[in-house]
Amino acid sequence: MAFSSAEVRVRQLDKTRLFRLFGQDILSELAKVAILRRVPKNKIVTHLGDIPNYIYYIIQGKIRLSAPLSDGREFIFSDLGPGDTFDLTRLFITRRSNMNAASVVDSDLMQIDVAFMARVFDKHPDLALKVIPYLCEAMHDAQERVIHSAASALSTRLASTLLRLTERGPPSLATVDRTGSIHISQTDLAAMVPASRAKVNRCLREWERRHLTQYDHGSLTILNRAALESVAFGEIAFDRSMMHIPRARASFWQGRQ
């Protein structure tokens, strides 16, 4: 790993909104105690039920947050990439992790001891007042996403997921090429929704019949974004005719802010 110097670590941490709140002096302190860790592919960093001793910053690679469902399937909550952080709730509370965090590919992480962070907040109480709103906002966004998924029909959840993959920064499970096609397996897509692969396949086949999307050998192309946004908003039901195609509107996610 070419991230061994404290100066390089500071630059890495300063790329994220959370750590920019700390200021250069405190970031320099963090960089001195941060541990660089290489995590091989498919290695679990934090197990469901663990009480994490560290917070993590991803330098490179991909970390998947997931939880097992009662029927044996895996619910993929999110895939995190370079610049993302996880296990941040340990900054202020001691509680067991409600998800597994595992590497999807070989990954380089920077881990910072929670006990050290507690001493930083004791020394700089004003910093805690800056960090708490950030964590509250992240928690609110996560809750809104889960509530939206639980209350929505499969077609709405699936449409929302596809739009999120193309609009909210670097994709996670998927990659998006220059033509806008999303490269993702139906198994991973089903785990994100969540739903069975068979139901996702039926929905995609119906959308292809109605010329909303096209899926071929792991590559999904959005043919009618305006119509897909209407499905995500719940304006068009899965079994209704799509003969009337709505006009283009602002980003689905911008509309929800």
Average pLDDT, the chain: 80
Confidence of residue 170 (pLDDT cuts 50, 70, 90): very low
Report DSSP letters for 130-191, one per residue: HHHHHHHHHHHHHHHHHHHHHHS-HHHHHHHHHHHHHHSSS-SS-EE-TT--EE--HHHHHH
Q: Are 222 and 166 in contact (CB under 8 A)?
A: yes
Q: Where residue 168 falls among pLDDT bands split at 50, 70, 90?
A: low
Closest-CA residue to 175 (of 107, 104, 75): 104
What would the mean pLDDT of 64-77 be, rounded to a whole number? 80
Where does the pLDDT of residue 177 fall: very low under 50, low under 70, confident under 90, or very high at 90 and above?
low
Mean pLDDT of 235-257: 46
Could you tell me the residue ranges of all domains in the chain? 6-149, 153-255
141-160 average pLDDT score: 74
pLDDT in tens, 75-89: 888 888 888 888 887
Confidence of residue 152 (pLDDT cuts 50, 70, 90): low
Check for a shared fold between 6-149 and 153-255. Answer: no
- What pLDDT does residue 247 have? 45
* pLDDT level of residue 249 (50, 70, 90 thresholds): very low
Q: Look at residue 13 and tell me whether its pLDDT is greater than 60.
A: yes
Topology of the domain covering 153-255: Arc Repressor Mutant, subunit A (1.10.10)
pLDDT for 96 equals 87
Q: Span 6-149: which CATH code?
A: 2.60.120.10
Taking the C-alpha atoms of residue 109 and residue 129, their distance in angstroms, rounded to an integer, is: 26
Q: pLDDT-based confidence at 100, cuts 50/70/90? A: very high
Q: Could you give phi then psi for residue 214, rounded to 5 degrees?
A: -140, 130
Q: How far apart are CA 175 and CA 56, in angstroms?
A: 23
Higher pLDDT, 142 or 213: 213
- Mean pLDDT confidence for 7-34: 84
Where is mean pLDDT largest: 55-64, 75-84, 190-199, 226-235? 55-64
Report the pLDDT value the prediction gives residue 43, as an integer from 0 to 100: 94
Residues 31-61 have pLDDT tens digits of 888 889 999 999 999 999 988 899 899 999 9
